[in-house]
Structure 1
Amino acid sequence: MANADPLLLVLKLANDAEEQAALLLKSAQLECQKRLNQLSALNNYRLEYMKQMQSQQGQAISASHYHQFHRFIRQIDDAITQQNRVVADGEKQKEYRQQHWLEKQKKRKAVELLLASKEKKRQVVEQKREQKMTDEFASQQFYRRHQR
């Protein structure tokens, strides 16, 4: 393997880097989905709690119970606000990892293109060499025939 093109090693490293970036992107996507699910759960919990309170409308509710209800709703709203920030941070991380993956993919494709170009040039040189050998052989045969 002493004759192997060093670009093959570069290509292997580029492939490995792209695969690693793809794994990080997948992880970020899963984390984003998890965060969105948590936000959805908080919103659903708030909605259910509001429905519960609404179903008690018209009934006598103590002032302390009413105060606790509003305090609890504020806490849920604060948790929803915080979770919205967590979701936004996750989206930024996902976008960053997607850009990182795209850069790694672009580098890999550039190395592949360079290798393909080198191979094409090698084939052209090989074809010219073979054509030269064929021409020389034909010349020698022609020369030998006319020398007799």
Structure 2
Amino acid sequence: MAKKDPLFTVLKLMEEAEEQASLQLRAAQLELQRRQSQQKALQDYRLDYMKQMEQQQGKQISASYYHQFHQFIRQIDDAIVQQVNAVQEAQTQQQHRQVHWQEKQQKRKAVEMLLAKKAEQTQLAEQREEQKLIDEFASQQFYRKARR
């Protein structure tokens, strides 16, 4: 099939759009991983801090230290809640990008199918034309021999 078919231009545009969507999906996946990693780091930090307080059990600690400890734990908990929200937003964005990429992929495949169908139809038409010429040549040969 001739490369002059406008569908080849459409296919090229679809491939570029799919590639762009793929890059956006990858960026969203990396952002999700980064946020999940930050969330885990905060949770691990909180756990370590709680273990430190546990080690203080049975020891004499001041009321102000105890108050500061609980205040700090609340701050860590607030940060964890914010990070959980950030992870959820990143998951939503990643899912949106996944759907967007799949839509672009489907459109590209549809254009490829159209081009394949056109190529097949063109090939069939060429085969029919070739067969017609062969039949015509054979008929002429037959008539020439019959007239002799």
Aligned to 1:81: 81
Alignment partners' CA distance in 2, 1:122 and 1:132: 15
Q: Which runs of 4+ in 1 moved over 6 A?
A: none
> Unpaired segments of 5 or more residues in structure 2?
none
Mark the runs of 5 or more structure 1 residues left unpaired by the alignment: none
Structure 1 length as normaliser, TM-score? 0.98
Aligned residues: 147
Task: Write the letter of the residue equivalent to 1:62.
Answer: S
Report deviation, 1:95: 0.2
Secondary structure of 2:58 counterpart: coil
- In the aligned structure 2, how far is the partner of 1:89 from the partner of 1:105? 24
Amino acid at match of 1:135: D
- CA deviation after TM superposition for structure 1 residue 115, in Å: 0.3
Please report the TM-score for the alignment, with normalisation by the length of structure 2.
0.98
The equivalent residue for 1:71 is: 71
Task: Write the letter of the residue equivalent to 1:105.
Answer: Q
Deviation at 1:100, TM superposition (A): 0.2
In structure 2, the residue matched to 1:26 is 26
Match of 2:45 in 1: 45
Distance 1:103 1:38 in 2: 31
Q: Distance in 2 between matches of 1:77 and 1:105?
A: 41
